[in-house]
Amino acid sequence: MKNKFFYTRLIETTDVSLKLTEIDLSQDEKTHLTSLMEANIHSTVIDTVLSELSKEDKKIFLRNLVSDDHKKTWEHLNGRIGKLEEKIIKAVEKLKEDLIKDLIEAKNYRMTIK
């Protein structure tokens, strides 16, 4: 089965998902928060990659990204960015740390009901 995004094989989100299960959430709420987590990961990866590329390579990357051609995306990026996989993993790990902090904070959070 084709991976969802070119970076999917690098990303492990079990730790965040497990923390989500510790909070009282409906299925819809879990689904929504999971999609928000994925969106944050996606934007983090895109930001990490774009920040490493030249003006012209940014265009090529975006074109490959929206055409959903993972092979082409990696071939292009590997020739342009050193240790790209490490950089993506590091950026996403930092994001996940922040998300887990949010989840811990949320467990203790009570909204004032007006």
Nearest CA to 11 out of 79, 95, 104 is that of: 95
* Rounded to 5°, angle at Cα 2 from 5 and 78: 50
Could you say which of 62, 69, 74, 85 contacts other proteins (CB under 8 A)?
Answer: 62
Q: How many residues of this chain interact with other proteins, rule: CB under 8 A?
A: 43
H/E stretch holding 52 reads: none
Q: Indicate the residue among 71 and 114 with the shorter CB distance to other proteins.
A: 114
Name residue 92's amino acid.
V
Sign (positive or negative) of CA dihedral 71, 77, 79, 81: negative
Q: Taking the complex as a whole, how short is the minimal distance between the CB of residue 99 and other proteins, in angstroms? A: 7
SS3 content of the chain, % helix, strand, coil (to 5): 70, 0, 30
Contact call for residue 106 and other proteins (CB under 8 A): yes
Contact call for residue 43 and other proteins (CB under 8 A): yes
Q: What is the CA radius of gyration of the chain?
A: 17
Candidate ranges 42-50, 71-79, 80-88; the one touching other proteins (CB under 8 A)? 42-50
Could you say which of 66, 71, 79, 82 contacts other proteins (CB under 8 A)?
Answer: 66
- Residues at the site binding other proteins, with contacts judged by CB under 8 A: 4-5, 23-26, 28-29, 31-33, 35-40, 42-44, 46-47, 50-51, 55, 58-59, 61-63, 65-66, 98-99, 102-103, 105-107, 109-111, 113
